[in-house]
A = this chain, B = another copy of it.
Amino acid sequence: MAQKTIYFGRFISTPQPVELLIRVGAVLVDRNDGKGVIEKADWTVRDPKDAISKFGVDAPVITTKENGFFFPGFIDSHIHASQYPNVGIFGKSTLLDWLTTYTFPLESSLGNPKSPMYKDAVEPPNPLARANAVYNRVVSRTLANGTTTASYYATIHVDATNLLADVAFAKGQRAYIGRVCMDQPETCPDYYRDESTEETIAKTKASIEHCKSLDPSGELLAHIITPRFAPSCLPETLSRLGALAQEQDLRVQTHISENLNEVKLVKQMFPDQATYTDVYDHHGLLTPRTILAHAVHLSKDEMKLIKEKKTKISHCPASNSALGSGFCPVRVMLDEGLEVGLGTDVSGGYSTSILDAVRNACMVSRHVGYVNGGDSRYNLGVAEGLWLATVGGAKVVGMEGRLGGFEEGMLWDVQEIVLGDVDSRGEGDNTEVDIFGWETWENRVDKWVWNGDDRNVRRVWVGGRLVHERR
């Protein structure tokens, strides 16, 4: 039976981009079964016992460590679950050769025994067994890094995609599951594409149905329509996917304007549309529920159109740096009124950690400033990075006001952070975040952001359900 729980201690969040809100108090969460929301919050409580009497409920109390705090769970608005085994494996490639050299072989190996990855295999390939290992691991690792919500790309394979849905649902992560759509023979290899628009639509529908069968409400798990990117889909497929998203009121995710050669390719392949953004708009894919990953090289006109359509952006700084894609001007997009969150973009990005994405977002923003004559207005600070990772991400996945903070009515998707204590002899805990004791709380958050990892994530809850506890 679902049980109420009181959380007591230090709560840190970023209601506004430049505001690090640090409070001591208690909140009452109404259930611990994946549907739990904050029933009451009280920022005057200074003792766990007071919380019980204030809330009038004899519920168990979970307390942060003195050198720790509750923080909203991270939202990864762009991650390729199927690419997880390739994190760090990209050599000196850039987007288009990275896809053919590293990515299509791996993705295809989760469903196709004839994938080039199996060419030297001794035993008969078992793609679904591989998918099982990969998907279990990536969901565990993202949870361990504090990611409570993830918008996943799987592969073109229905069975493996449905398996990812099963795994995320069983582990309790809030997840949007995308079966990857790619059927354009000009750009997709024979061993890894759908044969026709009909096949693409039918397989997408099969995956939609599976997600609905697991969670009819779509609150914890839902399918997300996933045309890989414009060049990988037949134009008719793009239109049909747009129509399907509208029909069923589903989220959409795709890539846009990551790399200059990709932008050129789109221009060649879609000569009738003026811009990359127009291509998606023309095919009915520029919706308020659409997440566009990367958006490194958008023109001001494209930003304007995206804003009009209320379409969302997932900024993936680690990936953009690792693949040499360019510098995404997040400050400009925020100033234009666009809604932006963060993505790890595994495995274009090398890390499953959204905290790493916060760091890289801060660094990339300084690069944007540097190439604009040393203009520090482009800089993102730590609070802004954390805001993108939580409140910004909530807007991007259509959960604004329900995720990313500690206000009454919000879902209890939360991570408990614990930092390392250094004693007077210089002995400390086995983490990279060493707190000497004189640091302000603002500075402790700085230190967590720049050196924190999964060792600082003690527990993670989604909808009040405990979904990760550090070993």
> Which A residues are within 8 Å of any B CB, using their own CB?
84-85, 87-92, 94, 117, 129, 132-137, 140-141, 260, 321-327, 350-353, 359, 362-363, 366-367, 369-371, 374, 376, 379, 381-382, 422-428, 430, 432, 434, 436, 438-439, 443, 446-451, 453-454, 471
Contacts and interface: CB of A to CB of B under 8 A. Distances in A.
The 3 closest A-B pairs by CB, nearest first: A136-B426, A88-B450, A324-B366
A439 B85 contact: yes
16 contacts: A84-B434, A87-B447, A87-B450, A89-B446, A132-B426, A133-B424, A137-B428, A141-B434, A260-B374, A321-B366, A323-B366, A324-B374, A324-B376, A327-B370, A350-B359, A367-B367
Contacts of A379: 92, 324
A427 B369 contact: no
A423 B451 CA distance: 28
A90 B367 CA distance: 16
B326 A447 contact: no
Contacts of A362: 322
A265 to B, nearest CB: 14
Given A85-B438, A87-B450, 13 more contacts: A84-B434, A88-B448, A88-B449, A89-B439, A132-B425, A132-B426, A136-B425, A137-B428, A137-B436, A324-B374, A324-B379, A352-B432, A430-B471
Given A94-B376, A422-B133, A428-B137, A89 B324 contact: no
A359 B356 CA distance: 12
B424 A370 contact: no
Contacts of A447: 87-89
A357 to B, nearest CB: 13
A261 to B, nearest CB: 8
A432 B140 CA distance: 11
B374 A451 contact: no
Contacts of A353: 432
A137 B85 contact: no
A137 B89 contact: no
Contacts of A92: 376, 379, 381
A393 to B, nearest CB: 21
Contacts of A85: 434, 436, 438-439
A91 B434 CA distance: 18
Contacts of A424: 129, 132-133
Contacts of A326: 370
Contacts of A432: 141, 351-353, 453-454
A361 to B, nearest CB: 12
A320 to B, nearest CB: 9
Nearest to A471: B430
Contact of A381 (B91, B438, B446): B91
Contacts of A327: 367, 370
A89 B434 CA distance: 12
Given A367-B321, A453-B453, A426 B376 contact: no
A450 B366 contact: no
Contacts of A352: 432
Contacts of A325: 370
A52 to B, nearest CB: 33
Nearest to A431: B454
Contacts of A134: 426, 436
Contacts of A381: 91-92
A424 B123 CA distance: 14
A339 B367 CA distance: 26
Given A88-B451, A381-B91, A446-B89, A136 B427 contact: yes
Contacts of A87: 434, 447, 450-451
Given A423-B133, A426-B136, A371 B371 contact: yes
